[in-house]
Amino acid sequence: MVILTLNCGSSSAKYQVYDWDNKDILAVGIVERVTQDGSFISHKAKGKEEFVLQHDCPNHTEAVSLIIKILTDPEKGVIHDMSIIKAVGHRVLHGGDRFTKSVIVDDAALKAFNEVKDLGPLHNPANIMGIEAAQKVLPDVPHCAVMDTAWHQTMPPESFLYAVPYEWYEKYSVRRYGFHGTSFLYTAKRAAALLGKDPFNTNVIIAHLGNGSSINAVKNGCSFDTSMGLTPLEGLVMGTRSGDCDPAMPFYVMRKTGMSAAEMETALNKKSGLLGITGEFTDRRDIQAAVLKGGKRSTLAQDMEAYRVKKYIGSYMAALGGQVDALVFTAGVGEFAPFVRKKILEGLQSLGIVYDPAKNELARTRNTESCISSAESKIPIYIIPTDEELVMTEDAYALMSGTYDVHTNFTYSFQSKDYVNKGRAEGLKEDLKKNPELAAIIAEAK
């Protein structure tokens, strides 16, 4: 039995094909530049070379059709009969406060996603288009929605409410929602396994660092507070998003410049963050290269990003009463940028967080969970490569089979200390051949 997962963005459609019976990934890929000129698909099947094909995709229906065509191709594909796909899992950015867990998509769910799409204007419309496109291509299988906001529905009111007129919450659903929930769910469960603890007796702070970044305080295995808010704009310094700033600042600049509300929204979401400070970079590798050449604005941007994360770590330590079992880094930057982690971790000794510089430099792989804390650190520092697709796959299977429930009443395969990702295990063998020293930082479940 095969489960397909889809993550449709405004101009892309990522996918993964998972063999449920053998617990193995058959293929992954992405269609890029959907709705734009020059669209193409990058496809990697197990045991085969990566395949790239130029193909016009004016809409998401065409993109999903292309994915199915490649998956069933006699040479490039991995399945011969579409009937073996038994479920499709879809990532949905924003479910508002209506969903506490993943759901099978029906008319009511689609209606709810449309009703809250103003809360996720850059993502929800594309998510909805992806679902509707996949339903046309695969009409006879259940389609399941996995919301990034569902994980955070355990936050208490003092965490999720803003100090604004209460009727804004009652009438317009103005509150903190948080995002990256699928990633936080996976990494929180894996951190508990590494610690050898009951996940619901575990407190962790997780930094999901990528082009979009957020940080999550997890108390007794549930989301307690998070940095992103009503939209993904609040919180950390990101690739093109400003993160936290004085709410009066946009009004001041609008009065000075004559900018419209729409222009200001674009500036804060697409022209700020690291791009706004450096004037040219969002990729941390480019920023680091500029730092090494003495680039002052790139150095400033790097310092600002790290300082913001550091402040949140300190505040979440306080929010969790100082009872923190682990600090976790995940996502592309969290997993692959030791120079960013170094800036964040320096000076946290007073909080009981002490990193090992040599271990930190070694940790640049998605094929293993690493521990980069020093022997004297009171709090372990883990790097846990995220796996949102696996969460989507397991949710879809459980929804299809009628065994699914909210995560506090549901057990995932990756919660086990004996869990192994076959693809990553094979990749680790190759990593160790190239760099045997990597063995020293592999985190073993207790």
DSSP string, 327-362: EEEEHHHHHH-HHHHHHHHTT-GGGT--B-HHHHHH
Per CATH, the homologous superfamily of domain 188-384 is: ATPase, nucleotide binding domain (3.30.420.40)
Residues marked active site are found at 148
d(CA 383, CA 337): 11
> What's the CATH fold of domain 2-147?
Nucleotidyltransferase; domain 5 (3.30.420)
Sign, CA dihedral 105-107-109-115, equals positive
**Which ranges in the chain are annotated with CATH 3.30.420.40?**
2-147, 188-384
Question: Per-residue pLDDT for the chain (446 aa), expressed as one digit of tens each?
Answer: 899 999 887 778 899 999 999 999 999 999 988 888 899 999 999 888 899 999 999 988 889 889 989 999 988 889 888 888 999 999 998 988 888 899 999 999 999 998 888 887 778 888 888 899 889 888 999 999 999 999 999 999 999 999 999 999 999 999 999 999 999 999 999 999 999 999 999 999 999 999 999 999 999 999 999 999 999 999 999 999 999 999 999 999 999 999 999 999 999 999 999 999 999 999 999 999 999 999 999 999 999 999 999 999 999 999 999 999 999 999 999 999 999 999 999 999 999 999 999 999 999 999 999 999 999 999 999 999 999 999 999 999 999 999 999 999 999 999 999 999 988 999 999 999 999 999 999 999 88
- Give CA separation, 361 vs 74, 213, 336, 357, in Å: 43, 21, 9, 6
d(CA 238, CA 220): 28
CB atoms within 10 A of CB 230: 18
| Six token digits for residue 399 | 């929804």
Q: For residue 288, how far is the Cα from the chain centroid?
A: 23
